[in-house]
Amino acid sequence: MKNKLVARILYEIADLLELEGVPFKPRAYRRAAQAVESCSTPIEDFVAAGKLSELSGVGKAIADKIEEIVKTGKLAYHEELKKKLPIDLYSLTRVDGVGPKTAKLLYEALGVRNLDDLERAARAGKIREIKGLGKKTEEKILRGLAEARRTEARMPLGHAYPIADELRRRLRKTGLFTRLEVAGSLRRGMETIGDLDILGTAPDPNAAAAAFVGLPDVEEVIAHGPKKSSVRLSSGLQVDLRIVPEESFGAALQYFTGSKAHDIALRARAVARGWKLNEYGLFDEGGKVLARKTEAEIYARLGLSFIPPELREDQGEIAAAEAGNLPDLVELSDIRGDLHVHTDWSDGKAPLAVMVAEAKKRGLSYIAVTDHAKFSQMIPGLTPDEVRRQIEEIARLNG
C-alpha cells in the first residue's frame, strides 16, 4: 500500500502552501490526505479502477497528483514547492513545539533542514536565541524530539490495522493458506507497533512463502523461507510471516503474540510444574504434548482462565487469571456516546440531523457537537451568531 506515502506528500503540500499564504488550497490537500490515510483499501486499487474521485475530498486536480505519486513514487508539483523551502517539513512538524511557521523560521535563522539539525540546534542552545521562541520553546522541542525519536520507527495502531487487514485479504486470495492471524503488538492493541507479525498455516509452505514475498507492496525481501519470511513494505513497515504446523497453531499464536515479559512469566509457571512451554506446545517432563491446538487449552492446562491479548504485559494478569478475576474489556457495544463530532456547519461532511440519525442507528445515547469556531481563513468555522443558531437546532433535535 502506498497510502502512507501519498498522504505524507499531500500533508506536506498543505503545509508548504499555507506558509506561502495561499488560501483554501491547504485545507483541500489536508482533507484529501486524511481520506487517503484512513482508507483501508490500497490507493493503487483506486488508481487502477479510475475511481479516485470516490474518495471524500479528492477532486480531479488532486486525483491527478495522487495518480502521479502512485505511478512514479513522487510528485513534480511537490518537488517544485520544496525548492522554495528545502527542508523535511513532514518530520519536523511531527515534533511537539514545531509547526510549519516555526520550521520555516528555524530554517531561515539556523539552517535547520531535518531532525538531526533540529536536535543539534536545540542542544547547543541556539533556538532560545531566536526572537519569538525562547528557552521554554527550546525545552519543549527537546522533549518533542525525544518522543519523535522513540516513535520514529513505529507506526500508530490505526495506521497498521488497515495494512494488516489488506495483507491478510491478499494472502487469503491466493488460496494457499488455511489459517492467517495477526500476532505481536498489533494483536495486543499497543498504541504503536515496530513491525507486523502474521501467523499462518499452509499445505505447501514454500508456495505460500513465495506468494507472500511476491506481494505488490513489497519493497525489500529481508528473508525468505518455508518457516519464516520477512519483507519491508513501501510504507517502511517490516512484516514477518511465520508458517507453522496446524496442530501447534494455538501454541505459536500464544508465543508470538507476546509480550516477551508475559511469555517469560508463563514459561516460568510451566517450569515450576516440571513442564516445557514454547511455540510448539506445552509438554510434560517426558515430552508428551499437554496442550497446543488452542491458546485457551494452554492457559487452562496451566491453571489459568484465558487471558485476552490486550492484557498480556506481565502486569498482574497471570495472578488475576489464576484467581479468576480478570477485568472485562471494553467492547464496541459498551460505547454510549461520541464526544467529538463535526458537522457541515464547519469542516464536517454531514448535516447535524444526519449525524444524530447515524448516532441513533449505532446505538449511541448522545453525541457532543464540537464544530470549529471562526478563527482562521484556512478552516471554516462558526461565527457567534451561527453558534446561537446551531444551539437552537440542537435544542429542536433534542426536543
Kindly report, residue by residue over 35-75, the tens digit of the pLDDT. Answer: 888 776 778 888 888 888 878 788 889 999 999 998 888 89
Q: Which amino acid is at 239?
A: V
> What sign for the dihedral angle of Cα 159, 160, 161, 167?
positive
Query: Is residue 378 predicted with pLDDT exceeding 70?
Result: no
> Could you tell me the fold of the domain covering 157-243?
Beta Polymerase; domain 2 (3.30.460)
- Average of per-residue pLDDT values in the chain: 91
E strand intervals along 173-225: 179-183, 192-193, 195-201, 218-223
Domain ranges of the chain: 3-151, 157-243, 248-323, 332-398
Query: Is residue 1 predicted with pLDDT exceeding 70?
Result: no
166 to 1, 43, 249: CA distances (angstroms): 9, 12, 22
Q: How confident is the model at residue 151 (pLDDT cuts 50, 70, 90)?
A: low
Query: Which alpha helices (H) appear in the chain, and where do they start and end?
Result: 3-19, 25-38, 43-49, 60-72, 76-84, 89-92, 100-110, 115-123, 134-151, 157-173, 184-187, 205-213, 249-257, 260-272, 295-301, 317-323, 352-361, 384-398
> Could you tell me the fold of the domain covering 3-151?
DNA polymerase; domain 1 (1.10.150)
Q: Which amino acid is at 240?
A: D
Cell numbers found for residue 272: 515450576
Q: How confident is the model at residue 18 (pLDDT cuts 50, 70, 90)?
A: confident
Angle CA(107)–CA(19)–CA(9) in degrees, nearest 5? Answer: 90
Query: Is residue 127 predicted with pLDDT exceeding 70?
Result: yes
User: Each residue of 73-107: pLDDT tens digit?
Assistant: 889 999 999 888 888 887 888 888 898 889 999 99
Architecture (CATH level 2) of domain 248-323? 2-Layer Sandwich (3.30)
Q: Which amino acid is at 199?
A: L
Within 10 angstroms of residue 301's Cβ, the number of other Cβ atoms is: 18
Within 10 angstroms of residue 141's Cβ, the number of other Cβ atoms is: 25
Q: Which amino acid is at 181?
A: E
pLDDT score at 379:
59
Q: Say if residues 68 and 75 touch (Cβ distance below 8 Å).
A: yes
Beta bridge partners of 156: 192
DSSP for 97-159? T--HHHHHHHHHHH---SHHHHHHHHHTT-GGGSTTTHHHHHHHHHHHHHHHHHHTT-EEHHH
Report the interhelical angle of 157-173 vs 25-38 (nearest 10°): 50
Within 10 angstroms of residue 44's Cβ, the number of other Cβ atoms is: 18
> Does this model's pTM top 0.85?
no
